[in-house]
Amino acid sequence: MELCLRAKDEAGLSDDELRAGLLVLLSKHPAKKVLILPPDFSRFHSKAGFLTRVCFEYYTGQGLVVDILPTLGTHRAMTRAEANDMFGEIPFERFFAHNWRTDVVKIGEVPGGVMGAFTDGLWTEPIAVEVNRMLMDESYDLILSPGQVVPHEVIGMANHAKNVFIGAGGAEMINKSHMLGAIYGMERVMGRDYSPVRKVFDYALERFFCKRPILFLLTVTTAPEGKTLTHGLFCGRERDALTAAVALSQHKNIDFVPRGIQKCVVYLDPNEFHSTWLGNKAIYRTRMAVADDGELLILAPGVEIFGEDRQVDALIRKYGYCGRKQVLELLQDPACADLRENRSAAAHLIHGSSDGRFRVTYAVSDEMCAQIERVGYASADISEQLRRYDPNTLQYGYNTLPSGEEIFFIPNPALGLWIDRARFEREGGSL
């Protein structure tokens, strides 16, 4: 690990501390042309926007060309306004939009036998390793990958090589890795490090990307009351940076609640969450905490679509969030070739269902209510629910309302993972 900064207290690292440490690191990495791979606006609280700006200013100050490829994965391209909000006054023409279907080149393959070893035999298909062509352009003699390590539903803990092989990756890796995570089981993955998908990325990084000059800049953050606090910054190419960040994130971003939550209310900031593809983090991150027959109410004033692109949106509308058993049956149906060809969408339909264990209600605009119900959720009027559960007055965690109703409130599901400690210990869980 080339740089390890840990906050001394709960106030987190200051911008000055982050900048000073990062500038010392960058001084050891002279370059002629630089590519930066930050996350997109859905990771607004990652502090990656600030780190990107420091890197951009450092190298352009030397007269170098610096290009920025936000690691969109399947997400839509960032708007000029989003780029400005997250990254500051970096010229928008320096941002390039990744297209996961067309912009990639194959650099290797993880063999089926290796996949079987990683998954206890649950998956034996090979997986092609594809990345955006820009990453293989040898004119870039330094690639910087800033981003946040945080619990994740597919890989266990986000970032590091995931930023390369998913964020800037191609259709086969995205589709198959998401399906692999879904088949292996979210509850076996979330909040853990060496998941099967992580092992795939470690393998691909070591064997197929080893000659590329990449440096990972990994943050651990929280955002109480909407203000980002940076608890650590871990930088380097080797895995020890990720291992250290995972350990800190498990401490900062996982909340063990004492008992199953009967009613969980999650708020989705309309500036960050406009689709159920993103908004279903409310389901992923709370499913290990919501009680059997409990209720998850998602306050989603900005949700207006399902998928982040037209094809995925159409598949969600066609099949709905029908759960693990039915999705696996659909994948065997010859009439469902469209779903088999988009297995990341199939995995999302599994992830976005409670499989009947608890109720999911989306509070949305009048125009969206009927659409939400058609994909398998209950709906509620967002205006009425915001009056009843005002995110500006609720406190994070347990709240008792004037009516006597008890709820557990989460202001942003993207920044954590919630687990029922009693169930977790009863079932022999460990991180």
**How many CB atoms are closer than 10 A to CB 152?**
25
Establish if 175 belongs to a structural domain.
Answer: yes
Q: Over range 125-131, report the average pLDDT.
A: 97
Domain stops at, among 196, 226, 254: 254
Establish if 431 belongs to a structural domain.
Answer: no
Mean pLDDT (the chain, rounded): 95
pLDDT band at 428 (very low <50, low <70, confident <90, very high): low
The fraction of the chain above a pLDDT of 90, given in percent, is 92
Instruction: Identify whether residues 180 and 294 lie together within a single domain.
Output: no
Read off the pLDDT of residues 176-206 as tens digits, 9 standing for 90 and up: 999 999 989 888 999 999 999 999 999 999 9
Instruction: Identify whether residues 249 and 264 lie together within a single domain.
Output: no
Instruction: Identify whether residues 184 and 329 lie together within a single domain.
Output: no
Establish if 68 belongs to a structural domain.
Answer: yes
Domain of 30, CATH number, reads 3.40.50.11440
Instruction: Identify whether residues 127 and 226 lie together within a single domain.
Output: yes
The answer to whether the beta carbons of residues 385 and 297 sit under 8 Å apart is yes
Instruction: Identify whether residues 136 and 113 lie together within a single domain.
Output: yes
Establish if 346 belongs to a structural domain.
Answer: yes
**Residue 21: exposure state from Cβ atoms within 10 A (0-12, 13-18, ≥19):** middle
Helix (H, G, I), strand (E, B) or coil at 287: coil
The answer to whether the beta carbons of residues 305 and 316 sit under 8 Å apart is no
Read off the pLDDT of residues 342-360 as tens digits, 9 standing for 90 and up: 999 999 999 999 999 999 9
pLDDT exceeds 70 at position 427: no
pLDDT band at 290 (very low <50, low <70, confident <90, very high): very high
First to last CA, the chain: 23
Q: What angle do CA 184, 305, 268 make, to 5 degrees?
A: 75
Establish if 14 belongs to a structural domain.
Answer: yes
Distances (CA, A) of 126 to 4, 19, 54, 172: 36, 42, 39, 10
Instruction: Identify whether residues 280 and 247 lie together within a single domain.
Output: no
Domain stops at, among 254, 281, 297: 254
Cα 230 to its chain centre, rounded Å, is 17
Bigger pLDDT: 227 vs 313: 313
Instruction: Identify whether residues 123 and 249 lie together within a single domain.
Output: yes
Instruction: Identify whether residues 111 and 215 lie together within a single domain.
Output: yes
pLDDT exceeds 70 at position 5: yes
pLDDT band at 110 (very low <50, low <70, confident <90, very high): very high
pLDDT band at 331 (very low <50, low <70, confident <90, very high): very high
| Enclosing domain of residue 262 | 258-426
Instruction: Identify whether residues 16 and 157 lie together within a single domain.
Output: yes
pLDDT exceeds 80 at position 430: no
pLDDT exceeds 70 at position 122: yes
Domain of 402, CATH number, reads 3.90.226.30
Token couple for 36: 């930066």
Establish if 343 belongs to a structural domain.
Answer: yes
Residues 386, 415, 82, 69, Cα dihedral to 10°: -160
Domain count, the chain: 2
Read off the pLDDT of residues 48-93 as tens digits, 9 standing for 90 and up: 999 999 999 999 999 999 999 999 999 989 999 999 999 998 999 9
Domain stops at, among 208, 237, 254: 254
Establish if 264 belongs to a structural domain.
Answer: yes
Nearest to 418 by CA among 298, 299, 257, 269: 257
Instruction: Identify whether residues 119 and 55 lie together within a single domain.
Output: yes
Read off the pLDDT of residues 265-280 as tens digits, 9 standing for 90 and up: 999 999 999 999 999 9
Establish if 184 belongs to a structural domain.
Answer: yes
The fraction of the chain above a pLDDT of 70, given in percent, is 99
Q: What is the DSSP letter of 356?
A: T
Q: What's this model's pTM, rounded to 2 decimal places? A: 0.91
Instruction: Identify whether residues 266 and 247 lie together within a single domain.
Output: no
Q: Over range 312-333, report the average pLDDT.
A: 95
Instruction: Identify whether residues 292 and 388 lie together within a single domain.
Output: yes
